[in-house]
Amino acid sequence: MENLVTLADLELEDIEELFDLTDKLKQKHQQGTEHKLLAGQTLGMIFQKSSTRTRVSFEAGMFQLGGHALFLSANDIQLGRGETISDTAKTLSRYIDGIMIRTYEHSDVEELAREATVPVINGLTDLLHPCQVLADLYTVQEVRGELQGLKMTYIGDGNNVANSLLLGTTKVGMNISLAIPEGYRPEKEILATAEKQAAKSGSQIEIIDDPLQAAQGADAVYTDVWASMGDEDEAAERKQAFKDYQVDQELMAEANEEAIFLHCLPAYRGQEVTAEVIDGEQSKVFDEAENRMHVQKALMVELMK
């Protein structure tokens, strides 16, 4: 593993090794044991999209590993004034040991990874959110002890999270059911890749209109905001399109009794999820948010050590 651009590039063994290392690093963190595996190294963090969890989890994680993280907004570097991705990649590679980028166009991350001579991590694009889904899968494994054969249900917008869930679940052998209205379905190319992976792993993929049907027998129920960053001008239209796609207690009752609720955050109570669910006993959203840091620490160690 040289970069993390998409989960499709990882093998099952890569994910298993990453989660084994995550277990070790999380335990050390909880015990207060130093684990400065990246002492003296620097991660450059390019942010063209703002963030709470991505910035803090990478920055705090790098500090705990003994390294340093540089926050680089689009206005802080020449990328914001028209310097090419290629020139940025080649220049930063002379200074630092790894790059994390959170941006709009997925092609920008692909070009950055091609041109850089240090590891590149996709912190989010409009197409994919691989770090989030690695944390999601780790959280399910942490709760249930396994992933193979479990069912993930996703309710809502076929966005970057839904795309990466398709790639992640089918890589590890989970079944996935997505309830998404027509016009908001996942990218066809992503679905085609997921179907190829499912044929190898034994996963089953279902994309339907009915949220209650999708939730039947689920081990994890997942949702995301109805209007992602960049879709704000469609908020009213999307609120109407997704009004029947709220995760509430009625929907959770269709899932397995021990099912957990997941959300990548930020969440809007009363829209995609009720307060009763996200603040209830089945919710693991803050464990999931914490696990972003632990999984990303393992990822940085694997790529940068």
pLDDT tens-place string over residues 24-45: 999 999 999 999 999 999 999 9
- pLDDT of residue 13 exceeding 80: yes
Average pLDDT over residues 178-203: 96
Q: Give 263's contacts (C-beta < 8 A, 6+ positions apart).
A: 222, 223, 224, 272, 273, 278, 283, 285, 288
Q: What is the mean pLDDT of the chain?
A: 96
Which residue ranges make up each domain of the chain? 7-129+290-304, 132-288
- pLDDT score at 277: 98
| Selected catalytic residue, list 197, 238, 264, 271 | 264
Q: Catalytic residue at 263?
A: no
State the CATH architecture for 132-288: 3-Layer(aba) Sandwich (3.40)
Q: Catalytic residue at 131?
A: no
Between the CA of residue 225 and those of 21, 167, 187, 229, 235, what are the distances in Å?
A: 31, 20, 18, 9, 10
Q: Catalytic residue at 238?
A: no
DSSP code of 186? P
Share of the chain above pLDDT 70, in %: 99
- The answer to whether the pTM exceeds 0.95 is yes
| Selected catalytic residue, list 29, 53, 129, 294 | 129
What count of residues does the chain have? Answer: 305
Q: How far apart are CA 204 and CA 209, in angstroms?
A: 17
| Selected catalytic residue, list 41, 48, 64, 132 | 132
| Selected catalytic residue, list 97, 224, 246, 294 | 224
Name which of 295, 294, 4 is nearest 129 in CA terms: 4
Q: Catalytic residue at 132?
A: yes
Name which of 233, 271, 287 is nearest 155 in CA terms: 271
Name which of 243, 98, 103, 205 is nearest 160 in CA terms: 103
Sheet holding 205-208, edge to edge: 205-208, 175-179, 151-155, 220-223, 260-263
Average pLDDT over residues 66-71: 98
265 contacts 292 by C-beta, under 8 angstroms: no
Q: Do domains 7-129+290-304 and 132-288 have the same CATH topology?
A: yes
Which CATH entry fits the domain spanning 7-129+290-304: 3.40.720.10, 3.40.50.1370, 3.40.718.10, 1.10.1740.10?
A: 3.40.50.1370
- pLDDT of residue 231 exceeding 80: no
| Selected catalytic residue, list 29, 53, 102, 238 | 102
- pLDDT score at 229: 67
